[in-house]
Amino acid sequence: MFYTFTQILKQFKMKDKAVIITGAANGLGRVAGIAAAKAGYSVLLVDIDEIGLAESKQMIEENGGVAETYKANVADEAEVKGYVDFAVEKFGRIDGFFNNAGILGVPSLITDTDVEVLDRVLAVNVRGVFLGLKHVLKVMINQGSGSIVNTGSMGSTGGLPYTASYTASKHAVIGLTKTAALENAPTGVRVNAVLPGTIKTQMALKGTPGNTEEEKVAFASKTVPQGQMGTPEDIANAVVFLFSDGAKHITGIEVPVDGGITAQVYPSYA
């Protein structure tokens, strides 16, 4: 018998469990928060953008979900500890953590990249992920359970011209993911990464050739074997599954959600 993804989620619906999502003011984080709430989790939304956080919270509550917000810079250890402590205070536990906050930086050749750009990207994309792991893991280890999903990228699997800072940071995310997974495998805590492919977000479209959104989407879709860009919901579904008991024997891996991009040798622009 075959089950739809929605039916699978219903089997593992998480009542009285809570998750934290960083980068939750927009994009992948916002949609993942909505999906987690629909799956039955209480959600703590974390971002530096208070207005965006409020909008994400409202969307969740309009759908009957439970959400709290916390403004934090993920590169600041005191603020990271703050959102972790807040989650424990509000919900009593942390069952899932979408360690998602990230920035692209300014596209440029390595020879033209200012070191300040490199430092800023690494601060958010690597230091932020590391700090999130450090403080959330302590809670989950004490619980004897929990699932962490870090956000990698297609840039985690190879080189991307003009994005040296970003690509370096996303390679580092995979190293952190695998190390954290192995260190904590005996504790009941799982750590994985999701690798978004060509996903229809403002961040992705920003660097795509084309004068209009329609032209950018058409160009980007040609690089995907399935012939279309993915959606933030595609990533959210993967994250919520990795949170669930349905993924209880999955740890230390990268999950590409990319329409087949990583399966090919040469991209097609036909």
* Structural element, H or E, at residue 167: helix 164-184
Whether residue 69 contacts residue 92, with contact meaning beta carbons closer than 8 Å, is answered with: no
Q: Is residue 115 part of a domain?
A: yes
Q: Is residue 175 part of a domain?
A: yes
CA 220 centroid distance within chain: 21
CA 263 centroid distance within chain: 21
Say what percent of the chain tops pLDDT 70.
93
The rounded distance, in Å, linking the Cα atoms of 17 and 229 is: 32
Of residues 219 and 257, the one with the higher pLDDT is: 257
How many helices and strands, by DSSP H and E, does the chain display?
A: 10, 7
Domain that includes residue 241, residue range: 15-199+232-255
Each residue's pLDDT tens digit, 18-28: 999 999 999 99
CB atoms within 10 A of CB 244: 22
The rounded distance, in Å, linking the Cα atoms of 64 and 33 is: 13
Whether residue 117 contacts residue 165, with contact meaning beta carbons closer than 8 Å, is answered with: yes
**Per-position b or e across 12-36, b if 16+ CB within 10 A of its CB:** bebeebbbbbbbbbbbbbbbbbbbb
The number of domains in the chain is: 1
Q: Is residue 214 part of a domain?
A: no
Coil/strand/helix, residue 75:
coil
The predicted pLDDT at position 1 comes to 44
Q: Is residue 8 part of a domain?
A: no
Q: Is residue 205 part of a domain?
A: no
Is the pLDDT at 129 greater than 90? The verdict is: yes
CATH of the domain at 159: 3.40.50.720
The rounded distance, in Å, linking the Cα atoms of 147 and 142 is: 13
Distances (CA, A) of 28 to 148, 180, 232, 254: 16, 23, 5, 17
Structure tokens at 208: 């795509």
Q: Is residue 48 part of a domain?
A: yes
- DSSP result, 194-227: EEE-SB-SHHHHHTSS-SSHHHHHHHHHTTSTTS
Mean pLDDT computed over 46-57: 98
Q: Is residue 269 part of a domain?
A: no
Is the pLDDT at 5 greater than 80? The verdict is: no
Distances (CA, A) of 105 to 34, 98, 115, 195, 207: 27, 21, 11, 18, 11
For the annotated catalytic residues, the residue numbers are: 166
Q: 163 pairs with which residues across the strands?
A: 108
Whether residue 197 contacts residue 158, with contact meaning beta carbons closer than 8 Å, is answered with: no
Each residue's pLDDT tens digit, 52-110: 999 999 999 999 999 999 999 999 999 999 999 999 999 999 999 999 999 999 999 99
The HSE-up count of residue 232 (CA atoms within 13 Å, CB side) is 18
Is the pLDDT at 190 greater than 60? The verdict is: yes
Each residue's pLDDT tens digit, 152-180: 998 999 998 999 999 999 999 999 999 99
Whether residue 105 contacts residue 160, with contact meaning beta carbons closer than 8 Å, is answered with: no
